[in-house]
Structure 1
Amino acid sequence: MTQKNETFKLLLALLATLALIGIGVSWLGNRFNVGGFEGGTSIQPGETGTASNRPRTLRDRFSAGDRLLVTEGATAEKQAAINALANGDYDQAVAELEQHFQDRQNRNDPEALIYLNNARIGNQSSYTIAVAVPVDTSLNPALEILRGVAQAQDEINQAGGINGTPLRVLIVSDDNEPEVVAEVAESLVADSTVLGVVGHFGSEASLAGAEVYDQGGLVMVSPTSTSVQLSSLGSHVFRTVPSDRFTASTLASHMVDDLQEQNAVVYFNSASDYSVSLKNQFITALSTGGGQVVDEIDVSVSGFNARSSLQQADQRGAEVLVLATNTPTLDQALQVIQENRGERPILGGDSLFNPRVLEQGQQDAEGMVVAVPWVISPNFRSPFVAASQSLWGGDVNWRTAMAYDAVQVLAEGLSRNPTRQGVQQTLSNSNFEIEGATGMIRFLASGDRNQPMQLVEIQPGNRSSYGYDFVPVD
């Protein structure tokens, strides 16, 4: 009995000691911010995620460098720079971020490059624009857009700024959610230092912000939103990407003239303004060209089954599958591609220009044709492509190029009249035009980009790491 009592006492003592150690470690972690950064949980090497697993507050969505938005792969130097910027120590932030870029693995980090340029500006007078991207919900497209913005800012500031004034960039994480975008837009309108906005990503997001920007007198230039509904939402809404009308007509012409087919089934997401817009525009374009859509299949419905949908398409006499789906329904589009097994030609909108289609589609996706606003292959000798490859260490896609052009458009407006009203008047002028990465940029009276789409086809290749590439259609 005595031995049992002694054992029990020793166990209690051990538990008490462990508890005290735990309290001490916790206190030290909070006191010295061990293994993390202020305002967020630590991200270990190789771990992905956001700075916080809880929903962001509105304030947490904005950062000019004082807050880390992209936490995947964040280095100690990058986190230290964030802390330095939050404390107004610009020299320290510059030193930490330059050290961050010493590792070539970090060279394609656009968030860090934007913060580095902001840190170099410090307290100097500057012009500020915002870029709104879905960091937490669609990281890859967000990074693609940020690379275009970062490259443009870097080139502008290295060249001496806009008439001698440097360009500062505010990054906004908006989740591509209309409710969040409306709040974000109101905050940007209320901030008089913000003179223009690059964004938003999806059409439903841009539609949610467009009216707010127009009423608040703040110009929005979207590099990726293509819904035709944006064409009628005010005099402050522009885009460097062509609308769905151009995409639809290009795909319909390819189907009728090149594939020599007449009957199509269209897959779409009824909850997406972009997807519905592209579907409707394609139906109109195909009908005008002599073809017809024999069935419309909503991939967002509960219980969607790709195999059953293909059987239904066969019964309706469909010869071609058209994927007008959006990024959140990419999984359903991939299911259709895999179940089709290359039996019928597949056409897709720009949302299907996604590395996952190459990675998961493989042989089943071979021959699939996608309409995009810009292709890198014919432009390898352009200054933009050469600079982007040197800066990021690899190829960029149309989202990066269109975002780059969106910044160039705003910069041109600021160079002529650095006020919100001045930017709007400059871009609205019927004679406005500038040479961008994607060609000459001109706007229609609606604010739409006046430029045709291009077709790419999935073929075996080695430019990507998946054994397949998007290559221009001859």
Structure 2
Amino acid sequence: MSPKNETAVLAASLLITLGLLGAGAWWMTHRTPGSGISTLLNPKAGESPDAKLDSQQPIISFGEQTLSPGAPSPRKENGMKALAQESYDQAIGSFTAALKEQRNDPETLIFLNNARVGQRKSYAIAVVAPVNTDLNGALEIFRGVAQAQTEINRAGGINGTLLRVAIANDDNNPELAKRVAAALAENNQILGVVGHFASDASLAAGSVYEAEELVAISPVSTSVKLSGFSNYVFRTVPSDYVAARALADYMLSKLQQKNAAVFFNSQSNYSKSLKSEFVSSVLTRGGQVTAEFDLAEANFSAAKSIEQAVKQNAEVLMLAATTDSLDRALQVVQLNRKRLDVLGGDDVYTPKTLEIGGDAAAEMVLAVPWHINTDPTSPFPQESQKLWGGDVNWRTALAYDATQALFAALRQSPTRAGIQQALSSADFSTTGASGTIRFLPSGDRNASVQLVKIAPGSRSGTGYDFVPVPSQ
């Protein structure tokens, strides 16, 4: 493709992106949580998480203050003030009213649940997510935890002892993640943690959890470096090894293609992990990876990369993109124009891919841990629909599972040491949104992944949906 054509395509992409940003207020009130665009408040413009890291102190909130950027609604603000003053009935009333205004705000539901606990005996856990740097991703995690907390407390908790949840933010920053982990470990109320989000954050915080003997269960971090990393770090999401094998199998068996070009982010542990596992899996099955392209390079060119991939006889493009490199990966999708088959990891599973990718992304296949249509008999999708007014995705489901796993361990022994022993036991088992939850000695979940593809559809409201690929 000529530089002129590339410039035209990229300019069109920019206009689409600006249009989506301009329509933010409409999306905020009209879209469902499953769309991933139900951002409650916009992050502060022009702020770099690293710039303020030196002065940024971890905030652990049970409902006394919000972590979401921007100003909360007046009713939510009143609820937080009342909760801080231990005026629980007033807090319940204010949070209930705030949820009627914004029903898919999981932070408010967590605060409401905590207000309902009041001064009664409770067990406390925390959830950590990148609130400022990936607000939609954070909300997806919070929804899973909030739903599990709601169901657990409605059922009476453990012999009347209810569950309280604290929220914390790490911005997917490893240094801040360490500080958050240390603050959570210092708080004796916290018996377990749901988090972290990025693999780099989980690896950084994991060393603190190991030293302080506090369990953390990540619903999102997939890097193979986390396998066996710590006796206190678990995850409800399968590792990149599982996802990479599924993608390689699909490429070689279903697509009948042997040559792949891989796009990855050299600044991400997750991306490097998925790339490495995919390359290894393809090679061991007789295929080849003919080219690798770093999305993080300053001079990265989607058009030149595709041209080079074609010259090197690539038949498939595999996108091991991350949230912060997704825009460049989607440029690849747009400029590829379905000439070569496209595969991707779970970070590509976002509404943005459907919106920006459009027809150019149709037939792309991704490996994700869970899809809402995988098990029609599961009660989780129906309950989440009632709670949030829309579909949820795999991040919410696996955050729900992480909370349920901590609760099941709490039921056996409500101490930090007891939780670690329960989760490590070969006999441990509980049920979550995505089926049975068991952990391998490595801390990994004993589970498979689901392949999904992009196809025309009306469920997401973008004209395209992620739909399950039938088992081979």
- TM-score normalised by L of structure 2: 0.88
Letter in 2 for 1:411: F
Detail structure 1 runs of 4+ shifted over 3 Å in the superposition: 50-60, 71-74
Post-superposition offset of 1:52: 12
Post-superposition offset of 1:380: 3.4
How far, CA to CA, are the matches of 1:246 and 1:346 in structure 2?
A: 18
Deviations 1:357-394 (A, max 9, x none): 00100001001000001111132332111110010011
Letter in 2 for 1:48: N
Post-superposition offset of 1:87: 2.3
Alignment partner, residue 29 of structure 2: none
Post-superposition offset of 1:153: 0.3
1:176 to 172, 177, 192: 172
Pair 52,125 (structure 1): closer, same or farther in 2 beyond 3 Å: farther
Alignment partner, residue 90 of structure 2: 92
Matched, 1:161 2:157: yes
Whichever of the two has the greater Rg, that structure is 1
Check conservation: 1:48, 1:73, Cα contact below 8 A.
no
Post-superposition offset of 1:450: 1.0
Check conservation: 2:362, 2:454, Cα contact below 8 A.
yes
Letter in 2 for 1:297: F
Alignment partner, residue 428 of structure 1: 424
Check conservation: 2:41, 2:68, Cα contact below 8 A.
no
Alignment partner, residue 42 of structure 2: 48
**Looking at both structures, which has the greater relative contact order when contacts are Cα pairs under 8 Å and sequence separation is at least 6?**
2
Check conservation: 1:51, 1:70, Cα contact below 8 A.
no
Alignment of 1:355-366 (within 5 A): 355-366=351-362
Check conservation: 1:240, 1:405, Cα contact below 8 A.
yes
Letter in 1 for 2:430: I
Deviations 1:241-272 (A, max 9, x none): 00000000000000000000000000000110
How far, CA to CA, are the matches of 1:84 and 1:423 in structure 2?
A: 32
Unaligned runs of at least 5 residues, structure 1: 1-44
Deviations 1:319-359 (A, max 9, x none): 10000111111111111111111111000000010000001
Deviations 1:401-422 (A, max 9, x none): 0000000000011001000000
Post-superposition offset of 1:91: 1.6
Paired-residue identity, %: 52
Unaligned runs of at least 5 residues, structure 2: 1-38
Matched, 1:327 2:339: no
2:285 to 261, 275, 289: 289
Q: Which deviates further from its counterpart, 428-437 or 49-58?
A: 49-58
2:467 to 461, 466, 471: 471
Pair 193,346 (structure 1): closer, same or farther in 2 beyond 3 Å: same
Check conservation: 2:58, 2:183, Cα contact below 8 A.
no
Alignment of 1:14-29 (within 5 A): none
Letter in 2 for 1:99: A
Alignment partner, residue 417 of structure 1: 413
Q: Which deviates further from its counterpart, 93-102 or 239-248?
A: 93-102
Post-superposition offset of 1:226: 0.3
Check conservation: 1:51, 1:69, Cα contact below 8 A.
no
Pair 390,108 (structure 1): closer, same or farther in 2 beyond 3 Å: same
How far, CA to CA, are the matches of 1:324 and 1:49 in structure 2?
A: 26
Deviations 1:111-143 (A, max 9, x none): 000000011112222111010000100011110
Pair 355,304 (structure 1): closer, same or farther in 2 beyond 3 Å: same
Pair 46,187 (structure 1): closer, same or farther in 2 beyond 3 Å: closer
- TM-score normalised by L of structure 1: 0.88
1:353 to 343, 349, 355: 349
Letter in 1 for 2:91: A
How far, CA to CA, are the matches of 1:216 and 1:81 in structure 2?
A: 33
